[in-house]
Amino acid sequence: MAIKQKETEKQSKLVEILTTEYRWENLLLLILAVLSTALSLIIIINQGPIAIDPSFPILGERTNQLIFAWILFGISMLGIALVAAPFVAPAIPELKRITWAKKSEFVDHSVRVLIFIIFFVFVILAFDVIVLALLRLLGVS
């Protein structure tokens, strides 16, 4: 009996390039998305260091500027979401495991935190009073 070999499909070079993950692509996408977000917001607000000249073809009219800016803003937000998704997606199952404290535990922990804060307020206040007294004795203030 002869064993048939599986025929492997050859991927086109374009598909291979598009499916390959590169080391710095997410960082580059984030930088470009943030810059394009800033540019779109500057155009929308219509104040700032960048302005589109009214004689510029197509984008010279204010309505066309706004359409362009909002489309650019949407694409920028999509880019930021694509960069953030790999970091947020694994956290969702972990967030589902979180349990809230019962009311008695919540009150107990809240009281402990408040006591801790009040204690350190008094420690810092005492330190401040001591330092001011020392400065007065030395005649600095």
Domains in the chain: boundaries: 13-96, 99-141
As a whole number, the mean pLDDT across the chain is 87
Looking at residue 78, its pLDDT comes to: 94
- Tens-place pLDDT, residues 50-64: 778 888 888 888 889
In terms of Cα–Cα distance, which of 58, 59, 40, 63 is closest to 50? Answer: 40
- Tens-place pLDDT, residues 27-43: 899 999 999 999 999 98
Which residue bears the tokens 């804060």? Answer: 117
The mean per-residue pLDDT over the stretch 71-87 comes to 91
Looking at residue 49, its pLDDT comes to: 81
121 or 88: which leads in pLDDT: 121
SS (H, E, C) 89-136: CCHHHHHHCCCCCCHHHHHHHHHHHHHHHHHHHHHHHHHHHHHHHHHH
